[in-house]
Amino acid sequence: MEKLRVLLIGAAFSADLHSDGYSRMLDKVQIVGICDRNLSRIEELANRYGFTGYTAYDDYDKAIAECQCDLVDICMPNFLHHDVAIKAMNAGRDIICEKPLATTVEDAQDMVDTADKLGKHIYYAEDWLFAPAFRKAMEIINSGKVGKPLYVRARESHCGSHSPFAQTIKYCGGGCMVHLGVHPVSFMLAMKDNKWSELTAMTSGGGENNMVHQQMEGEDWAGAFLRFADGTYATLEANYVTVGGMEDVLDIYCEEGCVHVDLSFSGPVKVFSIPGLDYTVEKAEITTGWSTPAVDEKYNLGYCGEINHFVECCKAGVDAQVGLRGKDGLETLKVINLIYKSAKEGTHIKNDALEA
């Protein structure tokens, strides 16, 4: 079986998440190139996941021009997504792009338009849609055994981004809503086929108005209320004021039941350590005392499933499922920007584009 040839652009945090997925399917893929300004980081990533036979690049223009690949996986800071994507698609490649699709709606629209014009696929990396626990929740919902969903509450939160680019809006597109809230927003839009009808939002405002992170231009707390075309309501939240590790929580209240998922902290292993463990869960500040270490964290957060899905779709030359296409990433960014508009202006926004 011919392997799909993948070029990784970036070798840091996001690339590590994606590489774990590739490492589990080396019978289907070949990492033919890895690009990062820091060549030692490339070597560390490749050694960690057993990648061999690749070419290392320190310039993404050179990598895109020279690397013979089928798929370009963009694991770069948000503000570079657009530039890398446009160049990769113009070079004839399909792409995977991490969230958010871009820092502005205009750039995201240009990416989607370019893909349409060139006949290329954008695979939008929304890991929540492949988290096994969330997929189980949706399986239960779709079975009809808890009745029609009436209200959904979803949030992602932790103590703050590790990335220096996340401190400045021009480099990242916003604050916690565009970094963390992007997951619940994408999940709900996928659940409801992008058919939202109205929204109202608040944020901490950014800078000196933030609760904790006054040095950050973007907000460190954001919440949005949405209503969808079928009458379902949702509360979507993101914040950088949560200590103790990352929280990914989904609650679905239905006519004849409810479903609760705690993605980050539910696990079968409990440990007490006086000196502290090397690692427990993402963003945990301390590991001493009692803790619940994550078991196969990247798999359970959905990264492995999404990468496998993208590889299979790229090999078949087809779009990804709803929620994981370029146009879904664009719609997510549009909604997040309207959340910011609602919060800034104190307005209630209706979706005039929704078909009657």
Structurally, at CATH architecture level, domain 129-302+334-350 sits in 2-Layer Sandwich (3.30)
What is the rounded CA–CA span in Å between residue 5 and residue 261?
Answer: 36
Place of tokens 């990769």: 88
Q: Residues 85-135: pLDDT tens digits?
A: 999 999 999 999 999 999 999 999 999 999 999 999 999 999 999 999 999
Provide the mean pLDDT of the chain: 96
What is the rounded CA–CA span in Å between residue 65 and residue 88?
Answer: 8
What is the rounded CA–CA span in Å between residue 286 and residue 107?
Answer: 39
Q: Residues 282-324: pLDDT tens digits?
A: 999 999 999 999 999 999 999 999 999 999 999 999 999 999 9
Q: Domain map of the chain by residue range?
A: 4-125+307-319, 129-302+334-350
Cα 108 versus chain centre, distance: 15
Collapsed DSSP state (helix, strand, coil) of residue 177: helix
Strand pairing category for 4-9 and 94-98: unpaired
Residue 1's pLDDT is 64
Given a cut of 80, whether residue 160 has pLDDT beyond it is: yes
Q: pTM here?
A: 0.96
What is the rounded CA–CA span in Å between residue 184 and residue 270?
Answer: 28
Question: What CATH number should be reported for the domain whose range is 4-125+307-319?
Answer: 3.40.50.720
